[in-house]
Amino acid sequence: MTARARHPLRMLWTALRLMLVFTVLLGIGYPLAITAIGQVTMPDQANGSLLHRADGSVTGSSLIGQSFTDAGGRPLPQYFQPRPSAADYDTLASGGSNLGPENRTLVAEIVERRAQIAAFDDVDPDAVPVDALTASGSGLDPHISPAYAAIQVRRVADARGLSVGEVKRLVSAHTAGRDLGFLGEPRVNVVELNLALDALPQG
C-alpha cells in the first residue's frame, strides 16, 4: 500500500479514536461527574425536589403544581387552591393558553373565574387577585401570591376546624420572599402548604 493510500486511513483511525475518547469523556464521564456532584451538594434538587407524606410515600414535587379537586373537578374547600393551569398540571403538556389579553374566550374565562372564586371564598370579586384568574406560562407553577392565599385562609380554617391564626401561621411559614431580596415577588407554595395542612394532627 502506498504512502498516499495509507494517509487517509491514518486520518480515519485518528478520528475514530478521538470520537471514542470524547464519547467516553463527554457522554459517560461528564454526566456521571455532574450527577455525583448534584447528589453530594444538593441531593433534594437533583432528585426532583420530591415531597413525601408522613408514611414516606411520594406525593409530588415542590416544583410542579397540582389540582386539589374532587372526582367531579370541584375545588376541595379544605385545601388552598392553585392558580389555573392551561396544561392541567401535566408535565407532558406544559404551556400557556396562548390567548391574548383581548381574546373573548380568555376574558369570559376570567369573568367566570372571578365570580366562582369570590363565591367559593366568600369575598368581594374585587378582592380576587390576578394570579387567581390567569394561568402561568408553563401551566405547572406551584405558587400563588400571598394575596390569593390570604383570601382562602378563612375557608380552609372553617373546613378543617382550625383557627384562622393557625392557618395564617402555616401560610407565613410557606411564603418565600424575593430571590436575592429583589428579584421576583413573594410567593406561597400551594403544594407544600397543603401537605403541611394534611400533616397536622386531626382533631
Looking at the predicted structure, is the pLDDT value of residue 47 above 80?
no
- List the grid coordinates of 77: 374547600
Locate the domains of the chain by residue range.
3-43, 50-199
pLDDT of the residue at 68: 94
pTM over 0.85: no
CA distance 105 to 92: 24
- Average pLDDT over every residue of 135-162: 94
Q: How confident is the model at residue 4 (pLDDT cuts 50, 70, 90)?
A: low
CA distance 201 to 44: 26
Looking at the predicted structure, is the pLDDT value of residue 203 above 80?
no
Counting Cβ atoms within 10 Å, is residue 2 exposed (0-12), middle (13-18) or buried (19+)? Answer: exposed
Higher pLDDT, 1 or 86: 86
Kindly give, in sequence order, each residue whose CB lies less than 8 Å from that of residue 151, ignoring residues fewer than 6 positions away.
Answer: 117, 121, 123, 127, 128, 129, 132
Average confidence score pLDDT of the chain: 87
- Average pLDDT over every residue of 121-136: 94
Task: Find, among 203, 169, 190, the residue nearest to 75 by Cα.
Answer: 190
CB atoms within 10 A of CB 67: 14
pLDDT of the residue at 168: 96
Of these ranges, 5-9, 46-50, 159-163, the one predicted with the greatest mean pLDDT is: 159-163
CA distance 68 to 139: 15
**99-110 per-position pLDDT tens digit:** 888 889 889 999
